């Protein structure tokens, strides 16, 4: 919609480097999102939605490296799209989304997880970084 409203499709010009870099980021972001949703449904017995969250704390797979991989996946998609389409509008949307998600995770999501999972989440929170992945996965 951003491209449509800003006329981004009309003014799109192919830049091989930005297209390849953007495409790789979009694919990486979609893969990360797919893996995290799969872990939520298969292992956590829930979904990413607030009305049907995982019943089991998910700390395996990519969640052993970083606490918020789904958000990182979405960021990769948005930055990739901004590069792919050379769109200032998508870049601005990324910056707004990035800023909002930083605050949302800290103020709402972590408090909710602390309430729902208690000590296991506190232990996980102490061991696994919020945004910058660990080199080796944390295992309980």
Give residue 131's region: left, alpha or beta (phi > 0; psi -120 to 50): alpha
User: In this predicted model, what pLDDT tens digit does every residue of 103-135 receive, in sequence order?
Assistant: 999 899 999 999 999 999 999 999 999 999 999
Note the pLDDT of residue 4.
63
Spell out the domain ranges in the chain.
15-127
Query: 8 in helix, strand or coil?
Result: coil
Q: At CA 65, angle to CA 64 and CA 67, rounded to 5? A: 80
Q: Which residues contact 57 (CB under 8 A, 6 or more apart)?
A: 44, 113, 117, 120, 121, 124
Q: Determine the pLDDT at residue 140.
A: 77
Looking at residue 13, its pLDDT comes to 66
Task: Match 């829930």 to its residue by tokens.
Answer: 46
Predicted pLDDT at 86: 86
Please list the pLDDT of the chain residue by residue as tens digits (140 residues): 776 666 665 555 677 888 899 999 999 999 999 999 999 999 999 999 889 999 999 999 999 999 999 999 999 999 999 998 888 889 999 999 999 999 999 899 999 999 999 999 999 999 999 999 999 999 87
């Amino acid at each position: 919609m951003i491209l449509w409203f800003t006329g981004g499709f009309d003014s799109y010009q192919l830049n091989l480097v930005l297209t390849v870099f953007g495409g790789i980021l979009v694919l990486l972001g979609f893969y990360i999102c797919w893996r995290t949703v799969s872990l939520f449904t298969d292992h956590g017995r829930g979904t990413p939605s607030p009305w049907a969250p995982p019943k089991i704390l998910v700390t395996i797979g990519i969640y052993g490296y970083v606490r918020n991989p789904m958000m990182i996946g979405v960021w990769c998609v948005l930055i990739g799209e901004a590069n792919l389409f050379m769109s200032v509008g998508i870049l601005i949307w990324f910056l707004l989304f990035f800023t909002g998600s930083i605050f949302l995770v800290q103020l709402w999501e972590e408090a909710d997880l602390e309430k729902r999972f208690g000590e296991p989440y506190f232990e996980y929170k102490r061991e696994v970084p919020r945004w910058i992945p660990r080199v080796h996965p944390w295992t309980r």
